[in-house]
Amino acid sequence: MRVAALAVLVLTVAGPLAGCGLTHSGSSTARPSGPAERWVAGSVGITDSRGTTWQPDVSVAQGGQVTTPGSAVAGTGNPALYRKARVGGQGYELPVARPGTYAVVLHVLAPQDVRAGQNVFDITVDGRTVISAIDVAARVGAGHALAVLVPVTETGDSIDLGLRVRHGEARVSAVSVAFESTAAARTTFADDFTGPAGATVDSRWTFETGGGGWGNNELGVYTSSTRNVSLDGKGNLAITARRENIRDTDGKTYQYTSGRLTTKRSFDLRYGHVETRLKLPTGGGLLPAFWAVGSNVDNVGWPVSGEIDMLELPAPDGSIYASIHGPTQSDAAYAHVAGIYPLPPESVAGFHTFAMDWYPGVFQFSVDGMVYGSVSEDDMPSGQTWVFDHPYYLIFNLAVGGNWPGSPPAGTPFPQQMVVDYVRVTGHN
């Protein structure tokens, strides 16, 4: 999704990936962590295309040899990171300044001549497997780069990160460590949508209403009516799109109504683990979405505010999209797709759990516990500004029509629903 102009506005992870602190609108946008520590494969450091300095990894790497890829690496906007790779290493001993929660990011790659299943490895912390069966070629394709997020809670002065090869080899081009927090994780926001059937949502949610296209030439009007947004009496929120003519305050008549609600006036977060369980509609020309917009949007506008799309399904595409949006250096908009996950056809109409893990400089997205997308600041092209260190608020909506995914085909049955079981945010404070 994107904010309307001038509107009121697969890896297996062992255990949940909890993120960092809740904050509120108006708080500082500076990273609480300070600068990350970064190392690149080899005995010589580099300054990459974003102007970031990387130290040589010889002081932290445990064994292995440094090789040079035979061809250009795809899947990154910062190719300097992948000019070399460490192969055959046992892992890394990464120094940290103090105990706390850290985001470790491994920048790994698959050679051009490697097929899925040939290079598979696990990641361990203090000898315990935390991510299993990483297969870069299967995940993103041969000749591609991949950023792997490893959240670590460290009680000592270094992180013992191990690589356990199952098949072939692990190729690591770079590794970074960013401090997040010393506090314990806790639930900072939760809604299980309990209440009688037909009731509206509680006061933490604000309705965004009206037509006007919402920046995507949508065909409907968002309302605050319980015909479009209500509890179903079974512990769910139902956002219902209906085919019905409605005259909006702009004087135009629209053919559809639906719902769009946000936490703009009650809650925002900077970093964290965000999770929702919901059931998606299956009709064509619909775009159910769960996303977030920078809480400074009224002051700086979009795309400078930034946007995080945790879930979009342009029905009847059948694939889940995760992406981020921000400004270029000239304040034009960019869109960076972090991952695309095709839902099995037999499961599209069922409930699925979608999650985002957001740490300083990196996002990771999953569906039903399977990681399918990630994006790191260090892999962004030099002209794209990272605007993901300030608070964001949450949005649920069910769009009808628009530039993406197009109009509902003739005969599409209405009403259509997006049914939300719960939404939860875990963070450090």
> How many other β-carbons are positioned within 10 Å of the β-carbon of residue 349?
11
Which two tokens mark 105? 């990011």
**AA identity, residue 118:** Q
Instruction: Return the SS3 of 81.
Output: helix
44 lies in the same domain as 76 = yes
d(CA 421, CA 429): 26
Instruction: Return the SS3 of 158.
Output: strand
Last residue of a domain, one of 135, 153, 180: 180
Model confidence pLDDT, tens digit, residues 159-197: 999 999 999 999 999 999 999 888 888 999 999 999 999
**AA identity, residue 184:** A
Judge whether 235 lies within some domain.
yes
Residue 26's pLDDT is 33
Residue 283's pLDDT is 87
209 lies in the same domain as 147 = no
Residue 71's pLDDT is 84
167 lies in the same domain as 210 = no
Model confidence pLDDT, tens digit, residues 341-380: 998 887 888 999 999 999 999 999 999 999 999 999 999 9
Judge whether 385 lies within some domain.
yes
d(CA 75, CA 146): 7
Model confidence pLDDT, tens digit, residues 36-49: 999 999 999 999 99
Instruction: Return the SS3 of 346.
Output: helix
The per-residue b/e assignment along 192-218, b for 16 or more CB within 10 angstroms, e otherwise, is: ebebeeeebbeeebbbbbbbbbbbbeb
> How many other β-carbons are positioned within 10 Å of the β-carbon of residue 182?
11
Beta bridge partners of 93: 160
Contacts of 115-120 spanning 24+ positions with Cβ under 8 A:
115/142, 117/167, 118/167, 118/168, 119/167, 119/168, 119/169, 119/170, 119/171, 120/165, 120/166, 120/167, 120/168
d(CA 133, CA 219): 44
297 lies in the same domain as 378 = yes
Last residue of a domain, one of 180, 200, 216: 180
Residue 341: which residues within 8 A CB-CB, separation 6 or more?
Answer: 10, 319, 320, 367, 370, 372, 373
Cis bond upstream, residue 303 (ω within 30): yes
Share of the chain above pLDDT 90, in %: 85
**pTM score, two decimals?**
0.90
Which two tokens mark 214? 């919402």
Judge whether 348 lies within some domain.
yes
261 lies in the same domain as 174 = no
d(CA 155, CA 50): 32
151 lies in the same domain as 200 = no
d(CA 384, CA 329): 6
The number of folded domains in the chain is 2
**Contact, 130 vs 14, CB < 8 A?**
yes
Instruction: Return the SS3 of 377.
Output: helix
Give the mean model confidence (pLDDT) for residues 255-284: 96
Last residue of a domain, one of 133, 158, 180: 180
Q: What is the mean pLDDT of the chain?
A: 91
d(CA 125, CA 274): 24
Judge whether 8 lies within some domain.
no
329 lies in the same domain as 377 = yes
Instruction: Return the SS3 of 137.
Output: helix
Judge whether 174 lies within some domain.
yes
197 lies in the same domain as 173 = no
Model confidence pLDDT, tens digit, residues 94-122: 999 999 999 999 999 999 999 999 999 99
Q: Which residues are catalytic?
A: 307, 312
Nearest C-alpha neighbor of 85 from the set 143, 127, 134, 133: 143
Give the mean model confidence (pLDDT) for residues 239-252: 96
Residue 429's pLDDT is 60
The CATH number covering residue 46 comes to: 2.60.120.430
Judge whether 7 lies within some domain.
no
Instruction: Return the SS3 of 218.
Output: coil
Residue 395 sits at the vertex; the CA angle it makes with 301 and 284, to the nearest 5 degrees, is: 105
Residue 336's pLDDT is 95
Give the mean model confidence (pLDDT) for residues 401-416: 95
Lowest mean pLDDT among 82-96, 135-149, 159-173, 332-346: 332-346
135 lies in the same domain as 195 = no
- What pLDDT band is residue 8 in, cutting at 50, 70 and 90? very low
**Contact, 254 vs 408, CB < 8 A?**
no
d(CA 334, CA 306): 10
Residue 3's pLDDT is 46
91 lies in the same domain as 234 = no
Which two tokens mark 369? 């516990």
pLDDT of 70 higher than 90: no
The CATH number covering residue 369 comes to: 2.60.120.200
Judge whether 246 lies within some domain.
yes
pLDDT of 35 higher than 80: no
- What pLDDT band is residue 317 in, cutting at 50, 70 and 90? confident
pLDDT of 5 higher than 60: no
d(CA 23, CA 35): 20
Q: Which domain holds residue 382?
A: 17-21+186-428
253 lies in the same domain as 353 = yes
Residue 216's pLDDT is 94
Residue 157's pLDDT is 96
Judge whether 415 lies within some domain.
yes
162 lies in the same domain as 299 = no
